[in-house]
């Protein structure tokens, strides 16, 4: 099929815009129509939603992060859509950063054990991976700082506690807020001074953009 593209990725659009014109056999057009629309609608929805979040945080230093809560088999494209929308990718998988969450800490028997094992793993395997640790309270925050991790995630903190936590960290590592934060509630977290806010909703609860593929 011959495809002529009029609108590139990342371009702002309005109702009635024509993204592309496709020429080819009728059977080929009909066979590919649904797959093409499904992908374009979903990825455009993700990029649009991400851009909406990014714009709301303009004027703060906080960046919008995605998560691994992606559609099976579609992660790379969904994370590309987040970047096109102006957001940042957290991790592509389990291989490019270590994130120690509550279950890791609890199964390991505490923060010290979890972080120590992660560092031992990196040393043994010759890997240079950042280590992020999720904390649930200020006691865990102080333990995390003592262990020397690269990023600390404040899980289900209030904006007030987030501000206090950022002050305690004092720039010694990166900071991230996560857990139940929405578009309507995110600004106070950004104003508290965190470096990142992560949103699973960017990829697991997005509404696809309305598109159609019409004969002409």
Residues marked active site are found at: 34, 69, 101, 134, 155
List C-alpha distances in Å: 113 to 104, 110, 117, 149: 10, 6, 6, 13
Q: What is the residue-level pLDDT of the chain in tens, covering all 216 positions?
A: 999 999 999 999 999 999 999 999 999 999 999 999 999 999 999 999 999 999 999 999 999 999 999 999 999 999 999 999 999 999 999 999 999 999 999 999 999 999 999 999 999 999 999 999 999 999 999 999 999 999 999 999 999 999 999 999 999 999 999 999 999 999 999 999 999 999 999 999 999 999 999 998
- Per-residue confidence (pLDDT) for residue 216, from 0 to 100: 87
The pLDDT score that the predictor gives to residue 63 is 98
Angle at 66 between CA 170 and CA 148, to 5 degrees: 30
Six-digit token pair at 72? 């099976």
Sequential DSSP letters for 98-144: EEE-HHHHHHHTSHHHHHHHHHHHHHHHT----EEEEESSHHHHHHH
Q: Can you tell me the distance from the alpha carbon of 49 to that of 189, in angstroms, rounded to the nearest whole number?
A: 19
Please compute, for residue 7, the number of CA atoms within 13 A of its CA located in the half-sphere on the CB side. 13
The domain over range 53-204 is classified in CATH as 3.20.20.70: yes
Question: What's the pLDDT at 130?
Answer: 97
* CA–CA dist 67, 55 (Å, integer): 19
Residues 75-133 have pLDDT tens digits of 999 999 999 999 999 999 999 999 999 999 999 999 999 999 999 999 999 999 999 99
Sorted by where each begins, the domain ranges of the chain are 2-43, 53-204
Closest CA to 61 of 197, 194, 150, 169: 194
Q: How confident is the model at residue 147, as a pLDDT? A: 97
- Residue 49's pLDDT is 97
């Amino acid at each position: 099929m011959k495809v002529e593209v009029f609108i590139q990725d990342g371009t702002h659009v309005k109702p009635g815009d024509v993204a592309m014109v496709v020429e080819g056999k009728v059977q080929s057009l009909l066979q590919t129509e649904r797959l093409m629309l499904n992908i374009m609608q979903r990825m455009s929805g993700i990029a649009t939603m991400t851009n909406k979040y990014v714009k709301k945080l303009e004027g703060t230093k906080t960046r919008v992060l995605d998560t691994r809560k992606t559609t099976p088999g579609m992660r790379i494209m969904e994370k590309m859509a987040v970047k096109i929308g102006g957001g940042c990718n957290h991790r592509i998988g389990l291989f490019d950063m270590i994130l120690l969450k509550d279950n890791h800490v609890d199964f390991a028997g505490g923060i010290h054990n979890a972080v120590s094992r992660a560092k031992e793993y990196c040393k043994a395997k010759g890997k240079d991976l950042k280590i992020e640790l999720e904390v649930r309270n200020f006691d865990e925050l102080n333990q995390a700082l003592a262990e020397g991790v690269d990023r600390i995630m404040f899980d289900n903190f209030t904006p007030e506690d987030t501000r206090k936590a950022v002050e305690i960290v004092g720039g010694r590592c990166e900071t991230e807020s996560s857990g139940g934060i929405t578009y309507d509630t995110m600004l106070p977290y950004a104003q508290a001074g965190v470096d990142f806010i992560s949103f699973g909703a960017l990829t697991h609860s997005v509404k696809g953009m309305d598109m159609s593929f019409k004969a002409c």
